[in-house]
Amino acid sequence: NFDPALGFVQQTDLDESVGFIDIRPQPKSGPIRELGFKAEMTYQGDTQNNFLYQSNYNRIQADFRSGDFILISVDPQRERLPDDFEIRKGIVIPAGTYKYTHSNVILTSDERRPLAGELNVLWGGFYGGRKTSLSFTLTGAPQEGVKIGGGWNVDWVRLPQGDFSSQVLSGDITWSLSNVLLLQSLFQWDKEDKSLAANLRLSWEYKDQSWFYFIVNPSRQNGKDRLLVLTKLTFRWNP
């Protein structure tokens, strides 16, 4: 799985099998619009048929007529590390097979409200230790056409080889200047890397389904500043 804050990269060279049952009844009355019950099994092996990973994911969720949402899941997992893995400098997870269970609770409020948010909490085992992850986002609409949001993501990891944490703060602003002109900005600070990055984008629909984009990406990491400027033009042709 790809998780920059924890140091993971995308897994390649694997075969994956997935099977699931997903049931979604819709009550005719009451505060709940739709319930969801899901059981999913995932099995991964490499191209030489060696076992790598197995998950038995179980989830219950509820979509409320108010627009709010809740999800609760339990995910027993088994994973084999074919090689030692350095998750942090000086913290090495030994090769071997690990069993652990992740529990997850997600609460989301209706994004159509003037102030909306999401809380995501995950906890459980982690390669012979423990991990707790907390994610919180808040979005407000102070006036029509303007949205302001912020987020905080943190992981606390305790391993026999050592403990560490990672933390990312983010913020974003979206401003609809008109029906065809949109200004968006995203800011992110990574405490672990001590890096600061931003994405500023102007989108202009100069004709129907044809867009002009102007993008500025400033960043600072390890005391070095970088600036990337991009432009993009799309044109819809109707012969």
Q: Do 198 and 190 form a contact (C-beta atoms < 8 A)?
A: no
For the cut 80, the answer to whether the pLDDT of residue 104 exceeds it is yes
For the cut 70, the answer to whether the pLDDT of residue 51 exceeds it is yes
Q: CA–CA separation, 23 vs 39, rounded Å?
A: 9
For the cut 80, the answer to whether the pLDDT of residue 62 exceeds it is yes
pLDDT interval class at 1 (50, 70, 90): very low
Question: Environment class of residue 212 by beta-carbon count within 10 Å: exposed (0-12), middle (13-18) or buried (19+)?
Answer: middle
Per residue in 179-200, is it b (16+ CB within 10 Å) or e — as a string?
Answer: eeebbbbbbbbbebeeeebebb
For the cut 90, the answer to whether the pLDDT of residue 130 exceeds it is yes
For the cut 90, the answer to whether the pLDDT of residue 2 exceeds it is no
pLDDT digits 0-9 by tens, 139-188? 999 888 999 999 999 999 999 999 999 999 999 999 999 999 999 999 99
**Which amino acid does the sequence have at 57?**
Y
pLDDT interval class at 10 (50, 70, 90): low
Q: Which pLDDT does position 64 carry in this prediction?
A: 98
Whole-model pTM: value is: 0.83
